[in-house]
Amino acid sequence: MATEEKKQEILEKLKNAVIQYDEDASKEAAEEALKEGLEANDAIFNGLVSGMEEVGRLFEAQEYFVPELLMCADALYVGLDILKPHVSQLDLGVKGSVVIGTVEGDVHDIGKNIVKMMFDVAGFEVYDLGKDVPLDKFIEEQIKTDSDLVCLSAMMTTTMVGMKKVIDDLKAKNPDIKIMIGGAPVSQDIAEKWGADGYSADANNALKDAINMISSLKKMKDEAEQNKA
Amino acid sequence: MTEQTMTSRDRVLKLFAKEDIDRPPCFSGMGNVTAEGLKKFGYKFAAVHSDAKMMADSAASSYKLFGFECAVVPFDLCVEAEALGCDINVYSHLEDILYPTIKTKLVNTEDEMDISIPSDLASRGRIPMMKEVIGLLKDDVGSEVAIGAHVLGPFTLAGQVMELNTLLKLSFKKPDKIGKLLDMLADALIVIAKEYEDAGADYITVREMGATSDVLSPRVFKNLILPYLKKIFAALSKNSVIHICGKTNDIAGFMVESGADAISVDQKNDVVETRKKIGNDALLFGNYDPYNVLVSGTTDQVRETMKGCMDSGVNAVWPGCDIWPTVPPENFHAMMDEVKKYRR
Ligand code: B12
């Protein structure tokens, strides 16, 4: 077992590897973490993810831009791939799966990819449909994967209206499904009007909301089962 | 000269020549077809991108219906990529107004970057049709309004022909490699823009929104993008505009440095600040929100916004992006009226 000091040192290495978008350093630090017997959960959340949080802050502060963000994500994925097989159960309190994509007619996917990354990081099972996704595809994929959450992104006011159609169809098929929407023209107001369960202006908050939504969904399901029993 | 004696065309050309004009013109360098205009001809949006007459009719309709002071083509951002070999989707199976997109990219990974410009570029894809459209517009409204055409900037075009995540990361990791690609794309864009100039376009707008500070740092803009923009503007012979939307305050100076005759920014730009930075001599076009004001605002909001733009010192009242087709006619009229009655 590593000493507390050694442990902190490795966590710091993981964190910095992400911030400095250094894939090699991320690999090394992740391997060292396993060798020294660190909990994989600990290494992911207090190392890699805490690095990504700092990256998010640098992005907000306009010190980092989209290319930096993508490179940090690559470094994070390198570490994550090494650590993930050693994770017993991710420490979110929930285990979720999410279908995500940019709606038909819209090829803006930079923002969607950032949101997707946050879900990956948090240990969600992510089904990324990409961009310019035919509206029916969201419904098909949700049914196929039995996902708890569907995330829709749109960057244009014309394509945004497609989201309403997807929401209506999904809710008609399965009223319990949670839907989250986002993208520059979308607002809290619109999300409420169209019956989406969540909206967020940025990726960090999207993740927090998603976790809350899914845990309340799980609770509802559990209660329903108990009542049956 | 007075409103009666000065045509919209004179006003715009004199503006570029930095001669005296009665008021700022109200025009654009980007698409401005409206649903109203399409309705007049019974055209479907998906059909106007690939038919010369339909595109020309639609492009002239905002002048004819509302007095908008230009006619601009094309309406989509795929012409250059298509000529370079990409397939496009115009969504003809759908009734909604959807803008054409690129279906397949030429370059997906770093080792596929060895592409070259076809020697017959000017006769590929829709380029010949675009020249025909510009000719038709010249004949139809060319004595009354200035005819504009737009091309993408090299970085934004790179994003159309190449997997975007790869492009963005390599811009940082291997700027030399991306520089080579941008240089080649700049050459292609020069060929295309010159075709448009020869066909009779009065001004060319280069749209480099992929390099907005929402995505790319001002430092990368200066080192990696600016040199190729300079190359393009040095090669153009008529009037030119550089357009970038989103955050642009930190790069406005570089935009002027690019050598374009005018810079165009959107509503996210603080134009009072920008004016301080670039001085009174540089032409600054902008900067109303074409959707949240022109489409969904009230006529009063439209008037207020246009007045605000002029008060803050833009040289032309000009949208932050394409005019959104669903603009209500009363808003379009209110915009024109507010600009026409403005006196400094
Ligand atoms: C880059 C860009 C492009 C690139 C897109 C490349 C790509 N693969 O993404 C290209 C050049 C291809 C392009 C094309 C077009 N574009 Co464009 N583009 C932009 C630009 C400059 C930046 C967008 C961006 O990536 N921002 C950075 C990211 C990080 O931010 P974000 O997307 O907002 O994402 C964040 C949040 O919104 C949120 N979020 C996003 N998705 C989701 C989803 C969920 C579930 C949640 C919770 C949160 C969330 O989290 C993200 C991270 O913080 C914007 C202007 C601007 N500066 O915003 C115009 C803009 C979006 N484009 C616009 C237009 C009009 C077009 C075209 C129609 C132009 C034309 N004539 O063809 C075409 C569209 C083609 C099509 N059919 O899709 C307009 C849309 C106007 C409107 N209100 O509808 C804009 C706003 C420009 C403007 N000033 O008007 N564009």
Cα–Cα dist A30/A80, whole Å:
8
Residue linked to tokens 């309340």: A216
Cα–Cα dist B289/B203, whole Å:
22
Listed by start position, the domains of chain A span 4-86, 97-228
Contact (CB<8Å) A107/B102: yes
Q: Which domains does chain B have, with CATH numbers?
A: 8-340 (3.20.20.210)
Over 90: is that where the pLDDT of A88 sits?
no
What average pLDDT does this structure show over A135-140?
A: 95
**Ligand 1 atom index nearest CA of A160:** 84
Contact (CB<8Å) B169/A71: yes
Contact (CB<8Å) A66/B168: yes
| Pairing verdict, β B101-102 and B88-89 | antiparallel
Residue linked to tokens 């969504």: B91
Cβ atoms B271, B287 nearer than 8 A: yes
Confidence of residue B142 (pLDDT cuts 50, 70, 90): very high
Cβ atoms B338, B306 nearer than 8 A: yes
Residue B89 β-bridge partners: B101
Tens of pLDDT, residue by residue over A152-207, are: 999 988 889 899 999 999 999 988 899 999 998 899 999 999 999 999 988 778 87
CATH 3.40.50.280 fits A97-228, yes or no: yes
**A2 C-alpha to ligand 1 centroid (Å):** 47
**Pocket flag, ligand 1, residue A2 (CB < 6 Å):** no
CB contacts under 8 A, A 154-173 vs B, are 156-159, 161-162
Confidence of residue B30 (pLDDT cuts 50, 70, 90): very high
Ranges A73-77, B29-33, B57-61: which has the least confidence: A73-77
ipTM, two decimals: 0.86
**A39 C-alpha to ligand 1 centroid (Å):** 40
pLDDT of residue B274: 96
Cα–Cα dist A68/A59, whole Å:
9
Cα–Cα dist A149/B341, whole Å:
53
Pocket test for ligand 1, best of A53, A59, A108 (most atoms within 8 A of CB): A108
Pocket test for ligand 1, best of A149, A155, A161, A180 (most atoms within 8 A of CB): A155
Over 50: is that where the pLDDT of B249 sits?
yes
Cβ atoms B151, B196 nearer than 8 A: yes
Contact (CB<8Å) B215/A110: yes
Backbone angles phi, psi at A109, to 5 degrees: -130, 10
Q: How far is CA A74 from the centre of its chain?
A: 15
**Pocket flag, ligand 1, residue A105 (CB < 6 Å):** yes
pLDDT of residue B1: 46
Contact (CB<8Å) B165/A113: yes
**Residue A205: CA atoms inside 13 Å, Cβ hemisphere, count?**
11
Which of A184, A216, A177, A218 has its CA nearest to residue A199? A184
* pTM of model > 0.80: yes
DSSP for chain A, written as a single string? ---HHHHHHHHHHHHHHHHTT-HHHHHHHHHHHHHTT--HHHIIIIIIIHHHHHHHHHHHTTSS-HHHHHHHHHHHHHHHHHHGGG-SS-TTS---EEEEEEBTT----HHHHHHHHHHHHTT-EEEE--SSB-HHHHHHHHHHHT-SEEEEE--SHHHHHHHHHHHHHHHHH-TT-EEEEESTT--HHHHHHHT-SEE-SSHHHHHHHHHHHHHHHHHHHHHHHHHH-
Chain A residues touching B171 at Cβ < 8 A: 67
Tens of pLDDT, residue by residue over A23-64, are: 999 999 999 999 999 988 889 888 998 898 899 889 888 999
**Who among A66, A67, A132 is closest to B101 (CB)?**
A132
**The sheet that has B262-264: what strands, in order across it?**
B70-73, B146-152, B203-207, B239-243, B262-264, B283-288, B316-319
pLDDT of residue B96: 79
Ranges A37-46, B56-65, B265-274, B319-328: which has the least confidence: A37-46
Tens of pLDDT, residue by residue over A59-71, are: 888 999 999 999 9
The CATH classification number of A4-86 equals 1.10.1240.10
Confidence of residue B344 (pLDDT cuts 50, 70, 90): low
Q: Is B155 on the interface with A (CB under 8 A)?
A: no
Q: Is A70 on the interface with B (CB under 8 A)?
A: yes
